Amino acid sequence: MAIAELTPAERDAALADLGEWTLAREGKAIERTFAFADFSEAFAFMTRVALLAESQDHHPEWSNVYNRVEIALTTHDAGGLSQRDASMARAIDALL
């Protein structure tokens, strides 16, 4: 289902709200890197994000190396950032 890409003003407002997330891919995505004590902690976090992604029907692009998890959020259906990325980022931050 189609969803609107954020305007530059909406994007800046969302980013101001999301201190740790940075703009990437020429404004088409936001990214954040998380560091945990060890792999087990990192993977437990990923499991919780996965459940969140399913419940919001919005899925991260991510990678994991040992205790680090890199997450990028973008909305393919919008061709860039949408409100779904902002709410997903907030929900991920709330897991910490």
Ligand X SMILES: C[C@H](O)[C@H](O)[C@H]1CNC2=NC(N)=NC(=O)C2=N1
Residue type, 36: F
Is the CB of 41 or the CB of 59 nearer to ligand X? 59
Rule CB under 6 A: say whether 71 interacts with ligand X.
no
Question: Phi-psi region for residue 60, left (φ > 0), alpha (ψ -120 to 50) or beta?
Answer: beta
Is the CB of 3 or the CB of 41 nearer to ligand X? 3
Q: Which of 7, 17, 39, 76 binds ligand X (CB under 6 A)?
A: 76
Rule CB under 6 A: say whether 77 interacts with ligand X.
yes
CA distances in angstroms from 38 to 41, 43, 44, 47, listed in the order given: 6, 9, 10, 15
Is the CB of 26 or the CB of 57 nearer to ligand X? 57
Chain mean position to CA 83: 11
Is the CB of 67 or the CB of 87 nearer to ligand X? 87
Q: How far apart are CA 67 and CA 38, in angstroms?
A: 5
Residues in the chain: 96
Q: Count interface residues toward ligand X (CB under 6 A).
A: 7
Residues 18-57, interacting with ligand X (CB under 6 A):
57
Which spans of this chain sit near ligand X (rule: CB under 6 A)?
57-59, 74-77
